[in-house]
Every structure is written in structure tokens, then in C-alpha cells.
Structure 1
């Protein structure tokens, strides 16, 4: 099964035409990292995306939901190789079965001081994945796109101490906010998949995330 048209459409979008790039213009770029946005067919005939939940015992970003990924090492040949390597290390992904479709532009992440390149990929025949190191990743989840696109699961997350307000999701106990939610929301917009949702439904980020 080849990558769906909507994913190829996102990959083919000119970086100058991506609203998120314009909103982040002027922010400083820090140490480079990459994440893998891995989409694939689900058992129910739909599609899903792979997300990880960080271990609750970590000193930074404990319990937060993110894409597999990490720092681009000197030995990596760019963001794609780094994202695939990190996915092998974090979730045991067999990257031979992954089709890289493209990349979103490098995005500055002011909170951590990193610049993150999201790598778009399609997983035509999903195989086994797991949390390789439970001290780092608590669980790995394939989240149905249908659930993420459901307006009932969408809201605006607010973070008073940082005057932060951005799209967020809550699906099956996963609270998805910050960079991960912003990039997912932008991807759905570019793909033409977004359904109208109540952006005025504002909810404060849970304390367990605000203090980490």
C-alpha cells in the first residue's frame, strides 16, 4: 500500500506556504534534532500515527506525549537518518519497512532550545513496536487519525505562566499538547483533513506537565 495522497500533499507543500513556519519566523534555531511522524494503515481500515509517552520518572518532560526522535548526531547523515535511528532505539522499529515521504521545515522549539525537523513517513505493513527502554519511554501507541480528527477530542491548551495557547488533543488517556499537538494540527490542516472544532474551548494544561 503506497502512501496516501494527503500525506504526499503535505510533503509537497512549499515551506513558504506553511502557516506554522511564518508564525515561528524570527525565533532562534538551536541544536538540531529530528522526529519521525510515522503514519500507517490500522486494523479497522483507517489510518494511525505512532506516538510515545515519556516515562513519568524523567527529569524533563515527564509523561509527555511525543513523536519518536532525538538529537541529530555527528554520525547521522541528516534529519531522516537521525529520526529513523532514534525510532529503532526507542521503539524497536524495523525501519526497512518504512517509506520516507518527505520533511517539514526545521522548526525552532524555544522551550528546549532545539530546532526540530519532522520527518514524514508511511508504514505500509506495520510490524511489532515496543518501549525498548521503559526508563525513557513508558509506552508506544498507534493513535487512530479518526480519533485525533474527532472535534470532541480537540481543544485549545493554555499555559498561563508562558502565555501559551495552542491546539491540543485528548484521546484514550493521552494528553497531547505542545510541539507534538501543534505539528499534528498543522499537518491535518495542510492535508485538508481538519474538521471544524471549537477553538474557544480553552483548557489549562494539567499541573503535572506545567511543573516538569
Structure 2
């Protein structure tokens, strides 16, 4: 067991065998994330990151990447493993209607990213943090449009208990999505926001109730690669956001600022 910088405990040994390839190779997630970004885009993001740090406009945040599934399953992804995902309310000022990991901005009283991620997840989904084993913190990632520097907190729970929308003005959907739904190549595509940002096209997932794209889609795609769960899929299926939104019945204002 090891301590994070915020005093919260990381318990990597609590990961079941099927999560070990991911937990043991978390350094590979940022690399896999960046591999999907064109060089000019990566250069622009790196420059924006440096500017935010120098000007003091950087905003810290954390998200909870919570996997659930059987503790005693062997190696290989179990059929009943799932990932906790939310959809933000369509009335919010930022990232309205977007699928996301539970999480948010760091509060002054937070003791670090693990604290932030667990607090935000409890506020958004009613999650009982006592049921959750934080396994690892991933490298901080920068999201240029919002200026957030986000730490994904990888976690596991054999049974997270009931989760649901707590505040409808903030969250529209809370769902434990089967990991195999993300793995399924029929659910995968590449999405760009508008005609002027086609070079920003990134991995996305088309599910029954949601389109998962932008930062969240990129992180999930990188996790699938690093964990060894990804299967070949059609990366030439590249669509504009409006077209992809229509497939899940969303309007054209959905998710304007996530990338």
C-alpha cells in the first residue's frame, strides 16, 4: 500500500487479476493518448499547457475512472466488468450534455486529486467512497478549451452499490457501462467537432444513450490499448460531431467545448 501526495492511500494490490495489466502499465496511458493526436495538435496543446502554467490560469481537476467487476476472475476482461460514466446536464454552462467520468474542479479544501475525484463522484452519483479502492493516479492531462489540468484517478470496486443522478441540474445520466460495449468495434468511430477542426478527430464511442468523445473518449481508448482489451476497429470512420450526435438523438449544441 502506498500514499499519494494528498495523504489518501493508493491500494494497487486491490486490483483483480483482469485489471493488473492496466494498473501495472499506467505510464503507458498518456503515451497511448498522445499517439492519437496529430503532431501539430500535440504541439499546440503543449504550448497552451505551458502558457497556462506561466500565466497562472491553470485550473486543477480530477476525475474518477471507476471499474467494477468480479474480484476473483482470472486474467482477461470479464463479461460483467463495467465503467462508471455520467452525462452532464444540457443546461450547464460548460461541457453541457457531454459524457464524462464523474469528477470536477479541485476545491480549496481538497487534499489532492484522489480526494477531489471521490468527493465529486459522491456528489454527482451518490457513490459510497468507502466501497472504492483507489489504485493509481494517471499523469495530469491538459484540456485546452477549458484550461483544466485533469488527473484521472484509476479505481476499482467489486460492488460500488447504488449509483444514480443526484442533482438533475448538473447530471442527466449516471450509468455503469459494460466495458465490452467500449471494446465492441461496432461502437467505435472517430469524431471531430466541426469542419475547421477535422485534424482534431479523436476516438469516440457510440452507445445507446450517449456519444463518448473528446477527452473522455481519448482516455478510454488509451486505457483499452494499454490493458490489452482493444480489438481492431475502423479508424477511417470519421464523422463530424453533428452527424455523430444525431445518431444518439442529441441536438447540434451538444458538447461544444470538450476538445
Greater CA drift, 190-199 or 11-20: 11-20
Q: d(CA) in 1 for partners of 2:91 and 2:256?
A: 13
Query: Which structure carries more helix by proportion?
Result: 2
Q: d(CA) in 1 for partners of 2:95 and 2:188?
A: 21
CA deviation digits over 1:171-191, x for unaligned, max 9?
112111000000000011110
Q: d(CA) in 1 for partners of 2:29 and 2:106?
A: 26
Q: d(CA) in 1 for partners of 2:85 and 2:26?
A: 26
Q: 1:14 to 1:148 in 2, by over 3 A?
A: closer
Equivalent position of 1:142 in the other structure: 176
Q: d(CA) in 1 for partners of 2:204 and 2:132?
A: 27
State whether structure 2 residue 233 is matched by structure 1 residue 188: no
Q: 1:14 to 1:181 in 2, by over 3 A?
A: closer
CA deviation digits over 1:8-55, x for unaligned, max 9?
33233263774135765724152110000011028x952010100111
Q: d(CA) in 2 for partners of 1:6 and 1:78?
A: 28
Q: Is the 8 A contact 2:97 2:255 kept in 1?
A: no
Equivalent position of 2:214 in the other structure: 178
Q: d(CA) in 1 for partners of 2:225 and 2:253?
A: 29
With normalisation by structure 2, the TM-score equals: 0.75
Q: Is the 8 A contact 2:85 2:99 kept in 1?
A: yes
The aligned length equals 210
Q: 1:125 to 1:138 in 2, by over 3 A?
A: same
Question: Which of 201, 204, 211 matches 2:237?
Answer: 201
Question: Which of 14, 21, 36 matches 2:64?
Answer: 36
Q: 1:125 to 1:17 in 2, by over 3 A?
A: closer
State whether structure 2 residue 27 is matched by structure 1 residue 15: yes
Equivalent position of 1:59 in the other structure: 93
Equivalent position of 1:162 in the other structure: 197
CA deviation digits over 1:39-79, x for unaligned, max 9?
1028x952010100111112222111000001112211110
Question: Cα RMSD over matched residues?
Answer: 2.1
What stretches of structure 2 of length at least 5 have no aligned partner?
1-13, 71-77, 243-251
Q: d(CA) in 2 for partners of 1:74 and 1:11?
A: 29
State whether structure 2 residue 158 is matched by structure 1 residue 124: yes
SS of the aligned residue for 2:201 comes to strand
Q: d(CA) in 2 for partners of 1:119 and 1:17?
A: 12
Q: d(CA) in 1 for partners of 2:212 and 2:16?
A: 24
Q: 1:105 to 1:21 in 2, by over 3 A?
A: farther
SS of the aligned residue for 1:208 comes to coil
Q: Is the 8 A contact 1:15 1:21 kept in 2?
A: no
Shift of 1:104: 1.1
